[in-house]
Amino acid sequence: MYGETATIVSLSSLRLLWEIRRSLVMKQRIKNALEESLKSTVANPEKYLGFVDISETKDKQYGDYSTNIALVLAKELRMSPRQVADSLREKITTGTIIKKVEVAGPGFVNFFVNEVAWGFCLQEIFVSGDAYGKCALGKGKKVQVEFVSANPTGPLHIGHARGAVVGDVIARLLSACGYEVVKEYYINDTGNQMSNLGISTLYRCRELKGDKSPLPDNSYQGEYLLDVAQEILEKYPDILQKPEKEATALCGTFAATVILNGIVDDLAVLGVNFDRYFSESSLYETGLVTETLTFLEQNGTAYRTQDGTLWFRTSAFGDEKDRVIVRATGAPTYFAADIAYHHQKFSDNYDRVIDIWGADHHGYIARMRAGVEAMGHDVKKLDIVLIQLVALLRNGIPVAMSTRAGEFVTLREVVEEVGADAARYNFLLRRLDSHLDFDLEIAKRQSSDNPVYYVQYAHARACSVLRLAEEKKIDNLKWHESIPSFLTLEEEIAIIRLLISFPDVVRSSAQSVEPHRLAFFLNELASMFHSYYNKYKIISDDEETTLSRLFLVGAIKTVIKNGLTILGVSAPQRM
RNA sequence: GCGCCUGUAGCUCAGAUGGAUAGAGCAUCUGCCUUCUAAGCAGAGGGUCCAGGGUUCGAAUCCCUGCAGGCGUACCA
């Protein structure tokens, strides 16, 4: 049986292989065929080529690929959709890859791909290995992703985690698409909150020395400042003897540094790290804020009112009203520093600048874009991504999350409870603009059947099968041109179709800044593999079938591994 | 009041560029481990896609209005 099939395959396989390699993507192959047909069917085809769109079908009865081009062109050509479809179909030559073409429904043209052709796609995955899924979309382009940027006034909580994970994965996606990515964290280390932090910490120092007077109203009440105070007292035993102003400043700086170090550590536990930490105070030190303000005032986009306040004319850029950038007291607002910061970003010659913000900052978008534009930069290069906030619940009841009041479950506590992989995947399974309830009890209870394990388990399972094959001395994971002819089951073709769409998923996830698509893709792939695994034996007495299926399993393993890597989730070999 | 986001199965959520019969997980029920990992699989039930209009060959998807929830509307971040 094997010999007979092999003969048939070897006759056509070289040609098939060559053809598939030439086009690489099956979809492109179909599209080419359709375009050729269009050229010989309609009068001025160049006018309609832009409408050609091929989509993957969901239902097997409609073939493997489908186009609605006839429906789109019908009116223009003054023909019925079915007529257009029929004439297009007649001009499409079937052969080694396209088995047949059908017209169905209101006028869809459906393409059926030769079953044997699919298996050849696996070789591409095998050859690319770890690089499979990557592309050169952003080759030679620099992009900056700024995210988290939480104020160094307290530890991160669950609300920051979503932004951290999403920002990190967006960076990874862009990186997979060939962009040179810089991950940046902006540190707000000046202004009122710093002095508040200093005051709060100083009070804690006094408290440790026996002074029980209560903390001022708007200070940071968290007990974590007691630890910071302890450190300060050890390092500066005379802190309480110093002048109030000096002691406060010292406490503020010290506390901010300690807290930021803690934030960096916590993020590292979550698998998030940055290339650059950019300090707001450095903008003042280098004079960039002053420079920016002068520039705005000189080009007329900023004006002074009688009391000395400097206003930025954001309303001229679509904002609902003008904004203050320098108070009457002469102190710049945070917004002033933000404009300077974005000016700095654009001065670094990025091709794209991405800000990832919590959705509660959405009212800030218009003025930020105004700032970039007024500074003479191409505002189209700025992409502000909003992420809906996370509501932390315990047994369905909201948990108060206030840095100031010091009542919160820290990010670190959550990660230590549910694990970094589960925490990350939890955030990645939702659209960015979807509100998210994170219930601590549910997260704990469901930690063992969290969706992340489903995908990881599929990977571990694939590894396990391949491991067993190795133990049995089966010479697996070697390409042979007869492999495709042993992978023609409906389930196998469905899996291959999914596998070859992986690069598209990565690309579209990156382009549309929607990491959840990749996560859902992996869930679907895992599901198909689990199902296939349960229905069919991978390793059997039939050598050819075994080798072919092992090759498929190898490809599945590669894609899951590559996908999880982009999501920053581990791909365990055993579970 | 105005602006942004959301509204899809009992619950949590997917449904890119408008496409053919709207999907998954959890929960409920029924089966499957002497056989490659049961953290798995197979099957069942479960829907006014918030409501009402409009656009067209075709709408969960686009437009308008209304309703509901969240967020924002600072010389706070």
Kindly report the average pLDDT of chain A as a whole number: 88
pTM of the complete model: 0.91
**pLDDT at position A418, please?**
85
Which tokens is A72 given? 């789109």
Confidence of residue A212 (pLDDT cuts 50, 70, 90): confident
Does residue A444 register a pLDDT over 80?
A: no
In chain A, positions 76-105 with C-beta closer than 7 Å to nucleic chain B are 81, 104-105
Percent of chain A with pLDDT over 90: 60
Helix (H) or strand (E) run with residue A257 in it: helix A244-269
In chain A, positions 515-534 with C-beta closer than 7 Å to nucleic chain B are 516-517, 520, 523, 527, 530-531, 533-534
DSSP letter string over A73-114?
HHHHHTS-HHHHHHHHHHTPPP-SSEEEEEEETTTEEEEEE-
**pLDDT at position A44, please?**
73
**pLDDT at position A405, please?**
64
Confirm whether any atom of chain B, the nucleic acid strand, is less than 7 Å from CB of A508: yes
Does residue A16 register a pLDDT over 50?
A: no
* Each residue's pLDDT tens digit, A506-543: 999 999 999 999 999 999 999 999 999 999 999 999 99
Does residue A1 register a pLDDT over 90?
A: no
* Each residue's pLDDT tens digit, A325-378: 999 999 999 999 999 999 999 999 999 999 999 999 999 999 999 999 999 999
Nearest alpha carbon to residue A222 among A410, A393, A440: A410
Confirm whether any atom of chain B, the nucleic acid strand, is less than 7 Å from CB of A463: yes
Confidence of residue A474 (pLDDT cuts 50, 70, 90): confident
Confirm whether any atom of chain B, the nucleic acid strand, is less than 7 Å from CB of A513: no
Angle formed by the axes of helices A158-176 and A420-428, nearest 10°: 80
Confirm whether any atom of chain B, the nucleic acid strand, is less than 7 Å from CB of A471: no
Residues A449-456 have a mean pLDDT of 88
Contact call for residues A270 and A411 (beta carbons, < 8 A): yes
| Beta-ladder partners of A407 | A402
Does residue A15 register a pLDDT over 80?
A: no
**pLDDT at position A297, please?**
94
Cα distance between residue A31 and residue A208, in whole Å: 74
Cα distance between residue A54 and residue A236, in whole Å: 70
* Each residue's pLDDT tens digit, A390-417: 888 777 777 766 666 666 788 998 898 8
**pLDDT at position A19, please?**
47
Measure CA to C1' and name the residue nearest B75: A327
Within 7 Å of a protein beta carbon, the nucleotides of strand B are 2-6, 12-17, 19-21, 24-27, 35-42, 57, 69-77
Confirm whether any atom of chain B, the nucleic acid strand, is less than 7 Å from CB of A410: no
- Tell me the nt nearest to A62, Cα to C1': B20
**pLDDT at position A400, please?**
67
* Each residue's pLDDT tens digit, A112-126: 988 888 888 898 899
- Tell me the nt nearest to A149, Cα to C1': B77
Cα distance between residue A60 and residue A366, in whole Å: 47
Confidence of residue A237 (pLDDT cuts 50, 70, 90): very high
* Each residue's pLDDT tens digit, A55-79: 888 877 888 888 888 887 777 777 8
Cα distance between residue A570 and residue A453, in whole Å: 10
